[in-house]
Structures are given as structure tokens and as C-alpha cells.
Amino acid sequence: MTIIAAADGSALGNPGPAGWAWYVDDSCWAAGGWKHATNNQGELKAVLELFRATAHLDDDLLVLCDSQYVINSVTKWMRGWKAKGWRKADGKAVLNLDLLQELDEALAGRTYRFEWVKGHANHPLNEAADSRARAVSEAFQRNSPINPGPGWVRPGDAPSPARRSLSTPATRPAASTAAPSAPKPPAGPKHPELFAFDDEPARSHTVSLALSADEHARLSRRALGLGVSVEELLRGLI
């Protein structure tokens, strides 16, 4: 089976408030972004997150992309850049190095193909990805919440390990059939006056964590994909 998905980026001002999105259908897509980035960074991030979202699958991946920069980077230039220590033919450092290195890692072992589509030409999947990436850019411009999308949600997919661990009830030991022996009374303290204080009541603790907008979007998307709240997802890690 081949998964067909579109990936697109957006930047208002380029650089400026930026977004990225990948899209399969209305029930399977994701988006995110930054307060300040370039359009090329959004394009790369969209492809990177698509490969990450499908890393647990064995299906081939057809990526529809309107960015020649992204397609050429992946299919033509990346191998040479990597061989030269991530430098271009003129010796200058490659731009967007962090995203390209992460993408290079995500591509390892995958079967994929890129297909160029003309942007803003009424291609259904491209238009859907573009509108979601732009919506994130505009949300950052207005300083309003973003919609990260449902993430990878496809019929028949096995739940992720995190979801299984959160949804599986804790195993309890089997009840013993033997009659319990009478408990022995606890020995009192040798000097009871030294222990004449009330037990300290159990207290809850509040933990604060500062997240970037992109980190918060990824966390929210994972929680949505697992069918739990962000708080439940974090507690499941303890």
C-alpha cells in the first residue's frame, strides 16, 4: 500500500510567522509552526513531521510537494552535502542544517517518492496542506492558539506503545486462598514521648514546564492521537 500525502509550509513576510502541515485527509493531518521562520523551514518541517508520523508503518510514501527546494534537497543534494560535512560545493555551510540532518535520519530505511505539484493550482491535497500551514502562520501572527490537527489517525492502525500503556489496566496480584494469619501487634517505641507528633499529611506537588509553541503543539498532537488529555499523557510517563 502507498500512502499519499501532501506537505506544505507557509511564512508571512518570509521570514515571519510561519507554519507547516501535512495532509492525507480530513481525519488524518497535522500542523505546527513558529513565531519567526522562513517558508523553506516550514516546507522541510512538514516533510519531516510526515515521515515521523508514519515511522511505525511499512507502507511506501508518496509525498506531494510544491517546493523544488525540498525535493531537490532530498533527492539530489543531500547525499553530496553530507559527504562534504554538510557543506555546499562552494564550501559554504548548508542552510537549515538542523532540519536537514533530522530529515536525513527520518528517511533512513524508508521507501518513498516525491512528486512536484504546482502550488495554488487547485490540487485538493496541496490546497488542504497549504490552508492548514497558513492558518498556523496567521494564528502566530495574531498570537492566538493553533490547531495541531488529529495527527496520524487511520482505520486499522495499531495503537502506539504509549496508548497501550495508558489504556491497559494495571495488573493486580492474584488473591490468596490461604487463611490469613493473625497479625502481630506492632511493638511500641521504647521512648514514646520522642514520637509524640502527628504524621505529616500527604501533599501534592505542582510542576511547571516551559514549552515552545512548537513543543506544545507536538505534545497536544500526541495526546490527541492517543485519545487522552495532555495531563494524562504526562502522568503516564511517571
Nearest to 108 by CA among 80, 74, 142: 74
Report the predicted TM-score, pTM, of the whole model to 2 decimal places: 0.68
CA atoms of 103 and 85, how far apart (whole Å):
16
Look at residue 154 in the predicted model and tell me its pLDDT.
81
Q: What is the CATH number of the domain that holds 106?
A: 3.30.420.10
Look at residue 176 in the predicted model and tell me its pLDDT.
33
Q: Check 120, 156, 199, 205 and give the catalytic one.
A: 120
Count of domains observed in the chain: 1
Residues of the chain with pLDDT under 50: 159-186, 188-202
Residue 189 lies in a domain: no
Look at residue 68 in the predicted model and tell me its pLDDT.
98
Instruction: Read off the pLDDT of residues 144-157 as tens digits, 9 standing for 90 and up.
Output: 999 999 999 986 66
Match 485519545 to its residue by C-alpha cell. Answer: 227
Residue 161: φ, ψ to 5° = -55, -40
Look at residue 214 in the predicted model and tell me its pLDDT.
58
Whether 120 is catalytic: yes
Q: Check 33, 42, 49, 66 and give the catalytic one.
A: 66
Residue 190 lies in a domain: no
CA distances for 15 relative to 11, 36, 41, 137, angstroms: 6, 6, 9, 11
Whether 130 is catalytic: yes
Q: Check 43, 49, 149, 214 and give the catalytic one.
A: 43
Residue 186 lies in a domain: no
Nearest to 2 by CA among 108, 111, 105: 111
CA angle 84, 111, 133 (to 5 degrees): 80
Residue 84 lies in a domain: yes
Whether 42 is catalytic: no
Look at residue 234 in the predicted model and tell me its pLDDT.
72
Which amino acid is located at 74 in the chain? V
139 contacts 32 by C-beta, under 8 angstroms: no
Residue 236 lies in a domain: no
Whether 9 is catalytic: yes
Residue 26 lies in a domain: yes
Look at residue 205 in the predicted model and tell me its pLDDT.
54
Domain span at residue 128 reads: 2-151
Look at residue 181 in the predicted model and tell me its pLDDT.
44
Whether 216 is catalytic: no
Q: Check 32, 33, 42, 130 and give the catalytic one.
A: 130
Whether 26 is catalytic: no
Buried b (16+ CB within 10 A) or exposed e, 94-126: bebeebbebbbebeeeeebebeeeeeeeebebb
